[in-house]
Structure 1
Amino acid sequence: MAYDAKKIYYRFDDHLSRLVLDYEASRQISSESESLYHGLPTDPYDEGLFEEHNVKRGLRNADGSGVVAGLTRISDVHGYNKVDGKVVPDQGKLTLRGYSIEDLVNNAQAENRYGYEEVAYLLITGSLPNKEELDGFCERLGAFRHLSDEYVKEFPMTTVSSSIMNVLQRAVLLLYAFDAEPDVITPEHEIDVAISMLARLPRIAAFAHMASVAKLRGSEVHVPHPTPGLSTAETILQVLRGGMAFTRDEAMLLDVMLMLHAEHGGGNNSTFACRVLSSSATDPYSAYAAAIGSLKGPRHGGANAKVVSMHEDIRAHVSNWEDEDEVAAYLGKILDKQAFDGTGLIYGMGHAVYTLSDPRAEVCRRYARSLAAKKDLGEEFALIERIERLAPQVMRDHGMTKPICANIDLYTGFIYKMLGVPETLFTPLFAVARMAGWSAHRMEELFCAHRIIRPAYRPVIEPLEYKPLADR
């Protein structure tokens, strides 16, 4: 199946240019309208106000630990212990339904089979499948991978965007229109929608990327028909490579990345967003689209691309990658906002929960080292390890007091680059993988919590007397 990208995008670009011109004209209606922009409150609140009113900023306690907002049987993200009310750093552990992420990854790899589907089944149902159950689950995913002709006819126009994450949101919302009973909330319907998302989102993300490439080339968009029996990782690579032009080792490594990103607790921003919307009993498509919108943010899922850019910047400005003093000095410049993007952040270092180690980063490091050796990229990998080792001390020298460890983002972008995954797909692949966790948390919120999430905000405003329009 193919579409003329030139025709599709010409129509959109013409419409977009008119929108931009209309926007510029609106700014010139009257000088008084400028108060709309100058009157916008942008000054941050005084830090003392948050303490005075006992506000848990970011739903976090003063010691950095998260405010407990619910109960879950889905996963445990462990990075510290609370002893006598104080946070005591501990080695990081991630367990899904009671199973450690290392065991799930290592056993699938040891048996030379893809593991993401097993993890998705575990998250959704609460138990590991036997072979018959896993085969049946994979067969159902395969049956759902096809995108109907009616959907595909609408989808090309929705691919027009500077962000594939934005495309994914609209693609998910569009699926609502192709569901005969989209607002029905029953366990059976929720399972069906979850399987539909797990099956279709990988192809939608890869197709969106190919459509953006076709736009640049002025060529047609080819949508390969799904091949029965392919894993999620293979399905992604099939669309990206235009067929089966990938090795099993590449697909197995991408499968590991999907497993590591499948779930990470109910408190992370995108999962919590999914739970907030689900608590209102809205449809699943709205809840999943909201989660994707959250993950798009650079403070959340968008960080992996930032890490890649930062590594490129360090390689360009550090003359001797093996000179630890030179590397540390440049990291100090980054913290001082004198280098890289001026934010003062070393991306890939630090986490809201993990203190001494991120178990996902430990797994990533092992696979990154192996692949880098095969691709003759050992020096680049050694530099990343050097950043991981030096950054905590540099950050402490700059006043950081909390324990700092590498998070998964330090290595994921490097691995994706070695796999030939385009940077525009880094965060979308995160969303593809996390759909398993989002669906599990949505169903737990719907069927176990039974209460709309409604936190309070403390008002810090003074009462004012209303003045008639003529007296203002």
Structure 2
Amino acid sequence: MDQKKATLTLPDGKIIELPFIEGKMGKPAIDISQLSQHGLHTYDPGFMSTASCGSAITFIDGEKSILLYRGYPIEQLAEHCDFLDVAYLLLNGELPNQNEKTKYVSEVKKHYLLHDQLNSVFRGFRRDAHPMAVMAAVVASKSAFYFDEMNVYNRNHRKISANRLIGKVPSIAAWSYLYNLGRPFNYPRNDLSYAANFLNMLFSSPTQDYEINPVLVRAFERILILHADHEQNASTSTVRLVGSSGANPFACISSGIASLWGPAHGGANEATLKMLQEIRSESRIGEYIERAKDSTDSFRLMGFGHRVYRNKDPRAEIMRKTCHEVLSELGLENDSIFKLALKLEKIALEDDYFVKKKLYPNVDFYSGIVMRALGIPNSMFTAVFALARTAGWIAHWNEMFVADNLKIGRPRQIYKGKLLRNVSLDRNVSKD
């Protein structure tokens, strides 16, 4: 069957044929990669209409509220799998059987420990440094520990790097927080699950053990699963762009952490909790709802709506259910912030303005409340996000090298500067 073509008619009447591409699901695309041969570029700020790659990892249909990892609905994965099941799936394309899972967990746990020399790296920071700043720098510093033995074009080397990153990032995240507090570093425990190990590193101390609560561990597993990947977002695209140069994988993941730290990306759950704390009382919700509708007011109702989902965020209901489970387990059903969130959600969903614009609560609306209930401080919210997203980042990084047409990323621009001009020999002349 002949490939479908789209035609582009230029102002001078010239017609250019462009290949028409259809994926297995989702919107079709027009292949514009050959436009430069005709002396043309496209202009798409924010890349809202541009597919930068082909990928088999994650599928999103924002209109139908669908999120699939390798074809599996996020709802089923959150219900029946743990995080390392999902990490294996993202990397390998299939869920592991029991033997594969046992071997994979063992491989990841081999990399829990951090090199002792990293103690010196951590101590180079101020004690009040934000955990994300420390985390990005320490992850990047790992490039110096695993450099000579790393060939990104070697499949086995990439597999080892993936296991190292997924194993070590929880330790780096926990130590970034502990350093901030001035507490001694806790070493990982191989007898605990991935999620339980992180919580134990975060909250145990030499003088007091952390009580492992299976309900809370399961809630944290869900947070990790729901945030493990989300297609070509800003941080994933950053990892791919840096990776396209052949950079060390630790440097690539560090770039993703830096991108994620932006308040418009990974900081939304922290911003949502701050907003609820600012509102404080149910009696003030109406005031803030009206402010959110006012285009001249800088206030934004955080945790509602999503750039990709034009309907409900499929992750939000899972997080809402998890929120109830955690607060019930901890006896916090009457927690003022949670009650305020439920009231805000109810009022917003009954307001014509929000209904018409389909501004439903997203995953960030509840994840911050859950992490707060678990005892995780605001400053660590984005670090937890980075911990989860490392699985997706490394899966996308690896996928690039499997593709046959890997090219270094090189976006073009529309130049809007000065025309050609000459350097003045007398620059003391007035420009008036």
Query: Out of 40, 52, 56, which is 2:44 matched to?
Result: 56
* Structure 2: 5+ residue stretches without partners: 1-40
Matched AA of 1:239:
M
Q: For residue 243 of structure 2, what is the aligned residue in structure 1? A: 278
Deviation at 1:392, TM superposition (A): 5.6
Separation in 1, partners of 2:416, 2:115: 52
Aligned residue for 1:298, secondary structure, equals: coil
Deviation at 1:244, TM superposition (A): 3.4
CA contact (8 A) 1:332 1:394 kept: no
Separation in 1, partners of 2:408, 2:357: 34
Separation in 2, partners of 1:262, 1:390: 31
Separation in 1, partners of 2:252, 2:210: 34
Matched AA of 2:202:
L
Separation in 2, partners of 1:392, 1:71: 36
Matched AA of 2:370:
I
Q: For residue 201 of structure 1, what is the aligned residue in structure 2? A: 169
Deviation at 1:232, TM superposition (A): 1.9
Change in CA separation of 1:405 and 1:288 when aligned onto 2, cut-off 3 Å:
same
Separation in 2, partners of 1:417, 1:155: 25
Q: Equivalences for 1:101-180 in 2 at 5 Å?
A: 101-108=74-81, 115-158=82-125, 160=127, 162-180=129-147
Stretches of 4+ aligned residues off by more than 4 angstroms:
158-161, 392-395
Q: For residue 285 of structure 2, what is the aligned residue in structure 1? A: 327
Give the share of equivalent positions with the same residue, in percent.
28
Separation in 1, partners of 2:127, 2:161: 25
CA contact (8 A) 1:361 1:406 kept: yes
Deviation at 1:395, TM superposition (A): 8.0
Q: For residue 333 of structure 2, what is the aligned residue in structure 1? A: 377
Matched, 1:249 2:204: no
Deviation at 1:159, TM superposition (A): 6.6
Change in CA separation of 1:408 and 1:148 when aligned onto 2, cut-off 3 Å:
same
Query: Out of 343, 346, 370, which is 1:415 matched to?
Result: 370
Separation in 1, partners of 2:131, 2:238: 20
Query: Out of 71, 79, 99, which is 2:54 matched to?
Result: 71
Deviation at 1:263, TM superposition (A): 0.8
Change in CA separation of 1:282 and 1:133 when aligned onto 2, cut-off 3 Å:
same
Query: Out of 215, 230, 245, which is 2:192 matched to?
Result: 230
Separation in 2, partners of 1:301, 1:395: 29
Q: For residue 270 of structure 2, what is the aligned residue in structure 1? A: 305
Matched AA of 2:197:
T
Q: For residue 15 of structure 1, what is the aligned residue in structure 2? A: none
Q: Deviations over 1:251-295 (max 9, x none)?
A: 111111111111111x21100100111112222122111100000
Matched AA of 2:45:
R
Q: For residue 353 of structure 1, what is the aligned residue in structure 2? A: 308
Aligned residue for 1:94, secondary structure, equals: strand
Separation in 2, partners of 1:151, 1:395: 54
Deviation at 1:57, TM superposition (A): 2.2
* Structure 1: 5+ residue stretches without partners: 1-52, 61-65, 81-89, 109-114, 215-220, 320-325
Deviation at 1:129, TM superposition (A): 0.5
CA contact (8 A) 2:108 2:163 kept: yes
CA contact (8 A) 1:303 1:348 kept: yes
TM-score between both structures, scaled by the size of structure 2:
0.82
Q: For residue 24 of structure 2, what is the aligned residue in structure 1? A: none
CA contact (8 A) 2:305 2:359 kept: yes
Q: Deviations over 1:224-257 (max 9, x none)?
A: 3322232221111111221432312211111111
Matched AA of 2:259:
S
TM-score between both structures, scaled by the size of structure 1:
0.75
Q: For residue 392 of structure 2, what is the aligned residue in structure 1? A: 437
